[in-house]
Homo-oligomer: A and B are copies of this chain.
């Protein structure tokens, strides 16, 4: 593993890479719309996608950071709509060894999807049950999952402490996040429009999980 003549010149120290990345983001991104606490969430979302411009699409309620942090510190679970989001959560940052749950591949999910006439991503939420109460929900893939979460809440179901609403794509993503944005009764953070995805959702969760940068 010695450095041969063809070695490339690059930074090989993980901590140095993080520090330089975050310094670049703070130098280039317009974070003026955020409080110092909120800006840490925005910085990690930018870090996950490589675009400082995404800052202008990030919106969060004033109670998002406090409610999500309190829930995580109280040991509440993290409920994810996709395996990618679940596997993007950095376990070492979690304050209470919180459970990270994704029911998309549960064997009951396909049947449930047929029963309720919705996608598997949406049907998977019906398996969360009472775990939703006070939890942090992280949606980074499916607009149908975010829509269905709002439907479950509107039907009188359990209420999460905070919602990371970042489904991505061309059908329903923008609309589902607009629907969440209209809900001042639900602490949330979104990335408006088509942008989003599992990396951004996991990054937001990781930022909320620990104050360390």
Q: How far is the CA of A122 from the CA of B199 in the complex (A)?
A: 20
**Does A17 count as interface, using CB distance less than 8 angstroms?**
yes
**Does A94 count as interface, using CB distance less than 8 angstroms?**
no
Which residues of chain B have C-beta atoms less than 8 A from A3's C-beta? 151
Cβ–Cβ contact A84 & B202, under 8 A: yes
Q: Can you name the residue of chain B whose Cβ is closest to the Cβ of A115? A: B1
Q: Can you name the residue of chain B whose Cβ is closest to the Cβ of A140? A: B199
A-B pairs with beta carbons under 8 Å apart, 25 shown = A1-B116, A4-B154, A4-B155, A6-B150, A8-B151, A8-B175, A8-B176, A10-B143, A10-B147, A10-B172, A10-B175, A10-B176, A12-B144, A14-B119, A17-B172, A21-B171, A24-B171, A48-B197, A49-B168, A50-B193, A50-B194, A51-B195, A83-B88, A84-B84, A84-B199
Q: Which A93-143 residues have C-beta < 8 A from chain B?
A: 115-122, 126, 143
| Minimal beta-carbon separation of A105 from chain B (angstroms) | 10
Q: How far is the CA of A170 from the CA of B48 in the complex (A)?
A: 10
